[in-house]
Amino acid sequence: MPSPERLDESVHSFGFLPDGYPPDEPVSRRDFLRGGLTGAAALVAGLGGPHAPESVAAQLSGRQPTDVKGVGVEPGRVRLAFNENPLGASPAAIEAVLRHQDWMNRYDYTTTLQNAIIRHHGLDIPRPSGFDFKATGERHGLMLGVGTTELLQILALQALMKHGEVVEAFPSYGQVTRVGDELRDAGHGVQSQRSPVLPDGNHDLEDMGKRIGESTGLVIICNPHNPTGALLPHDRILDFIDRVPPHVLVAIDEVYVHFVRDPEYRDFIEVAKERENVIVLRTFSKVYGLGGIRVGYAIAHRDVIYRLAPFSMGLLGRNVLSVHAAAAALGDDEHVKRSLQAVWEGNDYLTAELERLGARVVPSHACFLWADFGRETQRIVRSLWSRRVMVRAGAGQWASPNHIRVSTGSREENEAFIRALERTLG
């Protein structure tokens, strides 16, 4: 069953499924293209240029939920449930889509995205092929994916089929252990190990280390962590990697790493370049604002990439618009800066307001907050959804009934959420 994070959340009714989320409303391809590309053209041509801050600001207005107009969502809905970029897509990415919209009848055989990622991270991969979804040099390796979700699926399948066990924190995004559960339910002799997070929302690396055995093939560390937003120091993770047996692959999911506010924090790209049992995952869905076109990538030793390749969708997992959009977004530093500023200011505002209302908030290094209300929140979340304000309850998948995860929105969206929450709490 797909994670709620990966459902199409465009809904106009508030009928709830058993897990507390609404049913899908299908959107026709024609409506999607007409609305998406018309809006993109307006942003590029009619709002003062693709890189002007006012181009984004002009789309964000209103204070009450019914008046808010968020980017990429119908008017009157405040959607803070899926960790999306409140400023929308990189203007450079939108321009790239418009330039290549007539290419949609063609498969993508370019090296545009591979070369952009290789340059961005300084990978020693001299000759990527347009006829491959991966690229390797003498040591470095790169793999493209349909978002990081496909890459997590690939990692889980390879580890479970070869070794039999995986280890993941709990609560978490959960794709790795979810694959293990589904394989076990289908009769395969595999095991998903779930390691409870610490009270501060961080991975319990000591407990995770104790769960590693001869049958363990993969340990996944999401840093910053989803859904808590907590961040482990680089050195603590590196020490953990040093103690992991060489047959265990350590995956560092850095989907939210751009939002880390500590300028001294070091990511794990350089470690993945050199270690033969470390892989780093990145996405274009968050800071670049491209969640709807599904592009992710992994960096690891070339031998790791070769082991994972048989489980991938392969070359046809790429599409011509997403490749060019992602490559353009990677160089759009101005959009990244604006996105970070919006999220950091939003996190400060939401943290202060949630604490004023009595919640305990984990300090966040991501584009969302994890708030403990000290009581069950499912009813609170249902009430918010009925007011057209969408957030995630901690119950269900995350087994955290007293929590709410709220994504960081625009100023107007954040203020509308707080007002709706005040009315809900009474």
Q: Tell me the residue range of the domain where 56 lies.
A: 4-92+333-425
This prediction's pTM: 0.85
Question: 309, 330, 351 — which closes off a domain?
Answer: 330
CA dist 104 and 173 (Å) reads: 32
In a domain, 346, yes or no: yes
For residue 30, the model assigns a pLDDT of: 38
Kindly report whether the peptide bond that precedes residue 227 is cis, defined as omega within 30 degrees of 0: yes
Assess if residue 99 is contained within a domain: no
DSSP state of 128: -
Judge if 126 and 211 occupy the same domain. Answer: yes
**CB-based contacts of 280, cutoff 8 Å, min separation 6:** 251, 252, 254, 267, 268, 269, 271, 272, 298, 299, 300
pLDDT tens over the chain, length 426 residues: 444 343 333 332 233 433 444 433 333 333 433 444 444 443 333 334 434 444 344 333 335 677 688 898 888 899 999 999 999 999 999 999 999 999 999 999 999 999 999 999 999 999 999 899 999 999 999 999 999 999 999 999 999 999 999 999 999 999 999 999 999 999 999 999 999 999 999 999 999 999 999 999 999 999 999 999 999 999 999 999 999 999 999 999 999 999 999 999 999 999 999 999 999 999 999 999 999 999 999 999 999 999 999 999 888 888 999 999 999 999 999 999 999 999 999 999 999 999 999 999 999 999 999 999 999 999 999 999 999 999 999 999 999 999 999 999 999 999 999 999 999 998
User: Beta strand 140-145 with 296-301: parallel, antiparallel or unpaired?
Assistant: antiparallel
Tally Cβ neighbours within 10 Å of residue 337: 12
Residues 164 and 300 in one domain: yes
Give residue 295's pLDDT. 96
For residues 319 and 340, membership in a common domain is answered with no
CA 391, CA 403: separation in Å to the nearest integer?
Answer: 11
Are residues 150 and 238 located together in one domain of the fold? yes
> Which of 158, 243, 172, 180 is closest to 203 using CA atoms?
172
According to DSSP, residue 6 is labeled G
Is the residue at 102 inside a domain?
no
Same domain, 318 and 367: no
Domain boundary among 311, 330, 349: 330
44 with 183, same domain? no
Domain boundary among 330, 361, 386: 330
State whether 310 and 200 are in the same domain: yes
Phi, psi (5° rounding) for residue 297?
Answer: -155, 160
**Coil/strand/helix, residue 248:** coil
**Domain count for the chain:** 2
Q: Is residue 97 situated within a structural domain?
A: no
Asked if 371 and 264 sit in the same domain, the reply is no
Q: Is residue 309, in this structure, part of any structural domain at all?
A: yes
Tell me: do 282 and 133 sit in the same domain: yes
Q: How far is CA 45 from CA 49, 84, 93, 337, 374, in A?
A: 6, 24, 14, 22, 49
Is the residue at 293 inside a domain? yes
Helix (H) / strand (E) element for 372: namely strand 368-372
Q: Does 145 reside within a domain?
A: yes
CATH number of the domain encompassing residue 278: 3.40.640.10
Q: Do 200 and 245 fall into the same domain?
A: yes
Within-domain flag for 101: no
368 and 227 part of one domain: no
CATH number of the CATH domain containing 389? 3.90.1150.10
My answer on whether 113 and 207 are in the same domain is: yes
